[in-house]
Each structure stands twice: as structure tokens, then as C-alpha cells.
Structure 1
Amino acid sequence: MSIARRHRRPLPGFGISLGLGTAWLGVVVLLPLAALSVRAAGLGADGWLRAIGDPRVQAALELSFGAALLAAFIAALVGALVAWVVVRYRFPGRRLLDALVDLPFALPTAVAGIALTAIYAPNGSVGRLFAEHDIKIAYATPGIVIALVFIGLPFAVRTLQPVLETLGREQEEAAASLGASRFTTLRRVIVPELLPALLTGFSLAFARGLGEYGSVIFIAGNLPFKTEITPLLITIRLEEYDYDGAVAIAALLLVASFACLLAINAIPALLSHGKRSDG
């Protein structure tokens, strides 16, 4: 009886549950990605060059990759500060601040885009202050970056927060007792421990920003060669019945997102290997 209990499965019907879960994942996730990959592979080199070589496509790709990269960098820095404040300090409204971090997850992206546009438009509460100095936020690149920071910030905060909670203060206090300054403690003690989570949050925010549509579409302005993002251009190509062009652009974004996922999984191993080498 004791042996049977010891080897009992953690869930009833574990094999069936695993099979159903894997099948559902294959139908919902793997099958569409496989279909896109097969269709993209069938374009051939000429089809790819013709679709990606379009100046309008190149302008959209440059804007999307550049804005997503900048937004991920800002989200990683601001997310680190927010996570530090939420974990290390106790103050009135701390729980509210912690809950607001998840707001971009719960808020529909279209609603977020409309709200950001209303705030940063030239006649908005914040936008009019910059418009007086001929600075345009909405319907320009800064508005796109702000929208991508908004949706990418939770990834950075939630990735860093559990690491900070387990880090504790012992190492900082030991460094201070040995005469290390605050900057030295930050550089030699805190940052190395947070770096894997920081890079993971950056990669997640970048991957999310590449494919973001709803929160950006309203604030971007969608001017070709200026503020037209790549996901919108995919929709335009489909409306023009240019399916090969849409597939080529979508496949390029898929490869970029997949590369980010590979980087997320490789970052901890590379950093741990570097620590062993240094040791």
C-alpha cells in the first residue's frame, strides 16, 4: 500500500491530461505557426526579396524594430526601479502601485491606445504642453515608444520582482561592512544578481513590442514611411490581397520573436557559465 502511494501520479489521469494538453497546444499554437512557416518557405528567394525589398516595408520594419528596442530598454530600466521600490520599501499605496503594474495585462490594448492618444494628442492634457514648444508626441515616433513602454513595463517588473524578493539584504550589508560604497555595492553585488532577470524582461518587452498592434494603432498616426508600424502593414497587405507580402513580413516578425525566446532561455545558462569561468 505504501509503495503504491509513493509512486502515485501527482494528478489523476496524468497521461490523458498530458496528451490533451499537448494536442490542444499543437492545434492552437504549433499548427498555425507551422502553416505560416511552410507558406513562407514556399515564397522562394525572389518572393522574399520582392516583399522585404519594398521601401515601404523597410521603413515599417525600421520603425517597429527601433521603437521596440528603445521601448524595451526604457521598460527594463523603469521596471527595475518600480520593482525595487515595491519590494524594498513599505509606504501607503504600495499595494495599489503593485496592482497597477498589471493594468496593461488586464486593459484591452485598443482601450489603452485610445487613452494614450487622448492624453498625448496635441489637444490632450499632456500633449498640449509639448505642442506649445512644437514637440509632437502622438502621431509621431515618441507616441509609439510610449505605447510600447506601457505594454512592456509589466514584463520587466514581474521578471525582476521575485529575484529581488529572494535576494535579501545580507549581501548588501556585508559589502557595506567591508567598506564598499553604494555604487560599488550596486555594481558588484546587486546588478550581477539581477542581470539575468533584467535581460529576460528586456527580451520579453522587445518581443511583445514587435508584434503590438492595438495600443499603437491609434497613437501612431499610420503615415506611410513615417509612423506606419509593421503589424499594420501586414493588415494592409492582406486587404490588398497581397498574401505573399503579408506572409513574408509576418514570418520575419515570427523569426525575430523566436530569436528573443531563444535568447531568454540561453541568457541564464550563458551568465552562469561566465560566473564559473570567472571563479
Structure 2
Amino acid sequence: MSRQSAGEYAARTVPGMSAARIAPRRVADEPAFVLHSYDWSETSLIVEAFTRAHGRVALVAKGAKRPSSGFRPVLLPLQPVRLGYTPARDESADIHTLKSADWAGGHVMPSGEALLSGLYLNELLLRLLARGDPHPVLFDAYAAVVRVLADHQAAALEPVLRSFELVLLREVGLLPSLDVQTLTLAPLRGAQPYVLVPEGGLREAAPSDRVALPGTQWHALQQALDAPEGGFAAVLRACAPVSAELKPLLRTLLQYHCGPALLRTRQLMKDLQSL
């Protein structure tokens, strides 16, 4: 029975009940991370959360700003939580009502450079993910990165960020195939250097290109992304030896798709480095 026919059936069989008044099904115990929150009223917040089964969702956390609210110590960024919420009655609405939030445990809040890196990932998700579009593979990759950030593994910071950027671009359909040239579909030659550019995809490097990777490295990255087993760990292994070269290429591509305004977290990092 479709959602519409179920409502019509209830309206016919339950006196005084219309299809529009059928209570929405509640989402319970959903793994999630808080990406951002902002004021909704004097006592309440709108919380942007990244959930495993439902993607990015916006939730009204009523009373969350009150000192006595149980939401206050839980709705923090970069912390694994489990959420319960009631979807909006109007299917065209995308702001739902938060009913419960529990810390899932596992690690402490990142700090310092790791915290800024985590907030940078949150900003990317807010800019590039549409609400209500599930990405369980991306969610698992994000959870893995957050664990590394919480452990303050400085040596692993750059590789995990580059790996997540690759998985994010792949999941939202913005990453071209990395084993062929994008415009010609010509195969990559092993030692020939190639660059990834926003409007042209993967192409042969020109003398003016400052950073490039050989075809063998691009092939390895594509194989890791396609690996049926290994998941994020396989991408991380492939990124580790070339994370420095990938950084400017992926950052340029991400900024292009995020729009002309510089990411706020990147601006903050630049300001801190200039002090």
C-alpha cells in the first residue's frame, strides 16, 4: 500500500481523521553527528545533523538552550550520537522535530588543529550534501576520520583529510574517473603526469602546472575507491604517499563546487597561520 493510499484508507476507516493528519513515522536510535547548530528561538536550536540512514537532516531541538536541557551536553560537533526525531507532517518540509539525543561514546572532542580540520569537514558536508540524501559509505568514512582526529594522530591528519575529500567528491558525483583522461577517455600512461582541474577533469599536465601525479598513482587511487572490500582504509593507504600533491588539487576542485566564497574554516586557518 502506498503512502497516499494508506492515508486515504485511514481517512475512510477512522471517523474524523483525514489523510493529512496521519502521524509520521518516528526515526529512533539513528547514528549521527552534529554538523552545525544555530538559534531558532530564545530557547531552541536548529541542528544540522549527518545521519547514516537518512543523510543530512535539519532538526528543531526545542528547549536546547535552557540550562536544564538534556540536549545541551550532547548536541556537540565531532561526537558520535544517536538521535530520535519525528519527521515533518508536510512531506515538502525538511525541518523535523528532535525527540531524543544520546552520546554514543567512543572518544573525546578533538582540539587544536584537529578540531579545525573536523569543522572544515563539517562545512564541506553542509555545502555539498543535499538534505535527505543518504550516503552510508560517506558516513562511515566521516566516522573513521573523526576517530583519527580525536586521537590527535598528527602524522595521519593530511592523509585522512585527503582520503575523505576523495570519498566525498565521489559520493556526491563530482569526481571524474581517475583511470582515464576525462575529455578524451584516453587511458593514462604510467609515468606521464596528470592533473585534476575543475572544468576539465583529469588531463595531461602542462609545463605550467605546479603539481601533478603520474598515471600509476591516479590508477591506484581509482582502484582503492572501487575496492569492494577495505572501504575507507583502502583509500587511505592509496592517499598516504601522495597526500601533499593531492592537497592543492582537491582543495581547488572542492572550492569550485562550493562556490566563489572562501570556506570559512579555511579562512580561519589562514588567519591563524598569519598571526
Look at both structures and tell me which one has the larger radius of gyration over its CA atoms: 1
Greater helix proportion:
1
TM-score by length of 2: 0.23
TM-score by length of 1: 0.22
* Larger RCO, structure (CA 8 Å, separation 6 or more): 1
